[in-house]
Amino acid sequence: MASHGNGASIPSPYVELDRRDWARLRESHPMHLDAADVERLRGLGDRLDMDEVEQVYLPISRLLSFYEEATARLHQVTGDFLGERAARTPFIVGVAGSVAVGKSTTARILAELISRWDSQPRVDLVTTDGFLYPNRVLEERGLMDRKGFPESYDRRALLRFVSEVKAGRAEVRAPVYSHLIYDIVPGESIVVRQPDVLIVEGLNVLQAPRPHANGRAGLAVSDFFDFTVYVDAHLSDIRRWYTERFLSLRETAFADPTSHFHRFSTLSDDEAVRTAQEIFDSINAPNLVENILPTRSRATLVLLKGPDHTVDRVRLRRL
Ligand SMILES: Nc1ncnc2c1ncn2[C@@H]1O[C@H](COP(=O)(O)OP(=O)(O)O)[C@@H](O)[C@H]1O
Ligand SMILES: CC(C)(COP(=O)(O)O)[C@@H](O)C(=O)NCCC(=O)O
């Protein structure tokens, strides 16, 4: 219950379960992944293991399958009401959270589990970094230190992309971002062809629509989502994970001479930690606090991670 100044309290729309109670909700939902799959899907620095897939992600997969069926029925009802033959529309899942919280692993594991449902849906996964403006535009607008902030994205293009996929357009393209060159890859795109399920992963996917100049609210990508997941953790833990990942990247991705961050590959441990903390504190933490965290209360499901990067509590919206 949330308490108000006048003493009255409003009921929370969420129920919160610890991992043990959540794990029971898997019931008989089958496990189709093996240790090699989990290893392949795990992002750098993440701790995902078979136990976590079974205890945390299989119940989510089961719940998502119920949502998918119910959403398809609801869509059919609207079609019947309109006297139309309802065209198929994909079930869209949004995955939000801070930089370095492990959204990509969550999105990848969900995509893999969904694709193994009995109905064998075709699942596509897109990350919103492809909709960042190219560095040339960010430079012109003085936004190079704001990568990941809402204004660093071409939000219209992202909205058009998601709405066209939802509308069942035969082929929809998304641009591609590369961490290696730290920019949009010129001429490259990914093509989405009428998937049954689309997962959209990114920092700001739960953002509410912005009001137009005339005061009328517009649309946001979140208006097209059927289910949303927010991956949550304490800021101090995320900061540590970001720093640890930066240290690992120094020996891998940054070692590549074509990497935008190549200059960081020769930093000492102390210098690398300081650099990572500076980037985190000046860009990623303010973005988390000002823009991302305020969208958490819009999620259908919140995964709460402990200091060791594993999910230890789950909050599900039931109202
Ligand atoms: N500078 C970088 N070079 C190469 N890969 C990176 C870099 N920064 C992040 N990544 C990778 O990009 C992916 C997305 O990272 P991020 O946006 O921080 O989201 P999250 O950690 O929540 O999945 C991760 O798999 C991460 O390992
Ligand atoms: C590319 C990102 C903005 C994340 O994009 P997303 O796919 O979540 O839209 C982020 O990973 C990033 O690189 N931020 C810039 C600051 C930094 O280098 O950490």
User: In angstroms, what is the span from residue 125 Cα to ligand 2's centroid?
Assistant: 17
Domains of the chain as residue ranges with CATH = 15-317 (3.40.50.300)
Which residue's CA lies nearest to atom 11 of ligand 1? 179
Ligand 1 atom closest to Cα of residue 107: 23
| Contact in structure between 228 and 299 (CB atoms under 8 Å) | yes
User: In angstroms, what is the span from residue 79 Cα to ligand 2's centroid?
Assistant: 39
Q: Is the dihedral of CA 153, 225, 104, 194 positive or negative?
A: negative
Q: What is the value of pTM for the model shown?
A: 0.96
Write the pLDDT tens digit of every residue in 25-37: 999 888 999 999 9
User: In angstroms, what is the span from residue 177 Cα to ligand 2's centroid?
Assistant: 10
| Contact in structure between 59 and 163 (CB atoms under 8 Å) | no
Write the pLDDT tens digit of every residue in 151-202: 999 999 999 999 999 999 999 999 999 999 999 999 999 999 999 999 999 9
Whether 87 has a pLDDT exceeding 90, the answer reads no
Which residue's CA lies nearest to atom 8 of ligand 1? 179
- The binding site for ATP comprises 97-104
Residue whose CB lies within 8 A of the most ligand 2 atoms, among 44, 99, 279, for a mutation test: 99
Which residue's CA lies nearest to atom 25 of ligand 1? 43
User: In angstroms, what is the span from residue 11 Cα to ligand 1's centroid?
Assistant: 37
Ligand nearest to the CA of 279: 2
Rounded Cα–Cα distance for residues 13 and 53 (Å): 26
Strand partners of residue 92: 198
Six token digits for residue 225: 């989502």
For ligand 1, is residue 41 a contact (CB within 6 Å)? no
User: In angstroms, what is the span from residue 289 Cα to ligand 2's centroid?
Assistant: 15
List all residues 6 or more positions away from 266 whose beta carbon is below 8 Å from its beta carbon: none
User: In angstroms, what is the span from residue 147 Cα to ligand 2's centroid?
Assistant: 6
Ligand 2 neighbours (beta carbon < 6 A) = 99, 127-129, 147-148, 202-203, 279, 283-284
Closest by CA to 100, choosing from 261, 242, 310, is 242
| Contact in structure between 14 and 318 (CB atoms under 8 Å) | yes
**Cα–Cα–Cα angle for 282, 287, 291, rounded to 5 degrees:** 160
Write the pLDDT tens digit of every residue in 212-271: 777 776 899 999 999 999 999 999 999 999 999 999 999 899 999 999 999 999 999 999
Rounded Cα–Cα distance for residues 8 and 93 (Å): 34
Whether 144 has a pLDDT exceeding 60, the answer reads yes
Ligand nearest to the CA of 282: 2
Amino acid identity of residue 196, one-letter, is D
Six token digits for residue 74: 């609801």
